[in-house]
Amino acid sequence: MPQLRLALNQIDSTVGDLVQNAESIVHWTRHSAEQGAHLVAFPEMALTGYPVEDLALRPSFVEASRQALRALAARLADEGHGELPVIVGYLDRSETAQPKYGQPAGAPQNAAAVLHRGEVVLTFAKHHLPNYGVFDEFRYFVPGDTLPVVRVHGVDVALAICEDLWQDGGRVPATRSAGAGLLVSINASPYEQNKDDTRLELVRKRAQEAGCTTAYLAMIGGQDELVFDGDSIVVDAGGEVVARAPQFAEGSVILDLDLPAAGAVPQARGGAADGRVVDDGLRIDHVVLSEEPLPAYEAELAGGYAERLDDDEEVYSALVVGLRAYAAKNGFRSVLIGLSGGIDSALVAAIACDALGAQNVYGISMPSKYSSDHSKGDAAELAKRTGLNFRTVPIEPMFDAYMGSLGLTGLAEENLQSRLRGTMLMAVSNQEGHIVLAPGNKSELAVGYSTLYGDSVGAYGPIKDVYKTAIFRLAEWRNRAAVERGQTPPIPENSITKPPSAELRPDQVDTDSLPDYPVLDGILAMYVDRDCGAEEIVAAGYEAEVVGKVLRLVDGAEYKRRQYPPGTKISAKGFGKDRRLPITNRWRESS
């Protein structure tokens, strides 16, 4: 059987940075060539970054992407890599009108191209367009209607883009009908908890359906609230894993594959004849780059199987990558955190130190007359353990001045303390140039247990998609990991074990206002993440009165969530684009 050395480059692209993205593609193509690759691939929309959102609607940006693609093809040839086929994702536009979708010629497309000998020799657009969760691709793109097949050294390679594998039909069965020996899918599929297991089973299933070895190439890095975890996978026709890339790491998976020669697949009906229509009405677009198989070679690269991260390490890594990408890609070098001594700000500080380095993390303890000695001590201990920059600025003089003028009581008095802290953080941010990190977690955001313009201020919320019960688990994991590495655990044990409290009144604890967090998070997981109704939640064993209270809190806090900063998405349904509910809404669940 013919051999082919495939290079899958899981890289981190920045939306809109066509120049630097092209540089990265050239760099990794050069690396792939040095390793003797015969076919090189890059992720979905690697040239433009992903997702481009409404940039896709700007003709100037679409044209800039097309020009950058042609320039990239020419540059690769100029640098001596013209004979090496390179698959690159980019933003294109359709050349013909698509009446079925009500789109004229020139409508944007999520596309990819094969570059060879200084030319763009093949282009195609994503066939299945996702329109759920964070995806709005029907808003931007029109689908492709071809099955692209490129013959490389006597092997027919079918090509697909992300959702083409996640949905049934389309290019996967068409690949079998065309008799391709390899299916390469380029992807920018955002990270979610447990998605790595789902992804593996998907690729196994699609490889068996396609009847050929299938390579799933993934993007890594972060873009706004999304994180991309890499984890590229190659599976043979029988569903066995051939290679698997690391999670959350940029790099190249290079491996040798024994593949059937073009025309040798027995189940193909007619082969990859150019222009032939196959499954789902897809027309085969077949380009021959090199007909002759490669001479047999002995030194085979196996690609390897990267060790998998456990669940807590995986989530923690996603939070670190998300914050690091947001800061770096937006030109921020340092961050500022209000350190209360509690578990949320402690975990945010640990994430920030891991993402940016402790020297770029600034913490302020802002005690009031209600702040306990242990909370002030825990904040200082955290700073000592991590090495972050630390200062203490009491808010009591400012609080007394406000109270002398306004005479506030109850909740207004409590919230004033939080807002004074928020004002101080933003003032220091303006003065010193750090961005403020908001420490709110998903449990608090869900029920509105936060103060607008107080603890909700900031440019980014690293743990906004993490439930409180998971906050404790991640803090414990981070400390264990430190011990295993021979390091000092960053989070004081007291921050983990003491009852959570906002400390805005004497002896206050969170459970004065909320159910115990395991109960609260269980209800929220059903209502927020799975859209279960009150009756279904009660039937699962939760008390009707508690369910009713929690659901009322969630429904009444939508206006607060709309004003919360962006933050790393790690669940299937984070607050934001995943979950879009009206602020003005009189529908109420009843148990």
Q: Which residues contribute to the annotated binding site?
A: 132, 189, 195, 338-345, 415, 444, 560
Cβ-based neighbour number of residue 246 at 10 Å: 20
Question: Distance between CA 46 and CA 341 in Å, rounded?
Answer: 41
Residue whose C-alpha is closest to residue 51's, from 226, 251, 195? 226
Annotated binding-site positions for ATP: 338-345
Which burial class, exposed, middle or buried, applies to 241 when counting CB atoms under 10 A from its CB (0-12, 13-18, 19+)? middle
Name the strand (E) or helix (H) holding 164.
Answer: helix 163-166
Catalytic residue among 137, 162, 464, 569: 162
DSSP 523: H
Residue whose C-alpha is closest to residue 539's, from 467, 474, 591, 502? 591
Judge contact between 341 and 457, C-beta under 8 A: no
Catalytic residue among 63, 119, 126, 298: 126
Largest CA-CA distance found in the chain, in angstroms, rounded: 87
Which burial class, exposed, middle or buried, applies to 484 when counting CB atoms under 10 A from its CB (0-12, 13-18, 19+)? exposed
Q: Residues 6 or more apart from 270 whose CB is under 8 A from it?
A: 177, 276
User: Is 44 designated active site?
Assistant: yes
Residue whose C-alpha is closest to residue 399's, from 426, 428, 375, 367? 367
Angle 289-284-71 from CA coordinates, rounded to 5°: 50
Annotated binding-site positions for deamido-NAD(+): 415, 444, 560
Q: Is the torsion defined by CA of 160, 161, 166, 171 positive or negative? A: negative
Question: Distance between CA 350 and CA 334 in Å, rounded?
Answer: 14
User: Is 126 designated active site?
Assistant: yes
The token duo for 518 is: 């395991």
Q: What is the DSSP string of 348-389?
A: HHHHHHHHH-GGGEEEEE---TT--HHHHHHHHHHHHHH--E
Question: Distance between CA 8 and CA 581 in Å, rounded?
Answer: 39
The token duo for 382 is: 């955290």
Judge contact between 335 and 360, C-beta under 8 A: yes
Q: 3-state SS string over 454-488?
A: CCCCCCECCCCCCCHHHHHHHHHHHHHHHHHCCCC
Residue with tokens 């509910």: 581
Annotated binding-site positions for L-glutamine: 132, 189, 195
User: Is 192 designated active site?
Assistant: no
**CA quadruple 231, 237, 242, 243: dihedral, nearest 10:** -20
Question: Distance between CA 57 and CA 247 in Å, rounded?
Answer: 32
Catalogue the active-site residues: 44, 126, 162
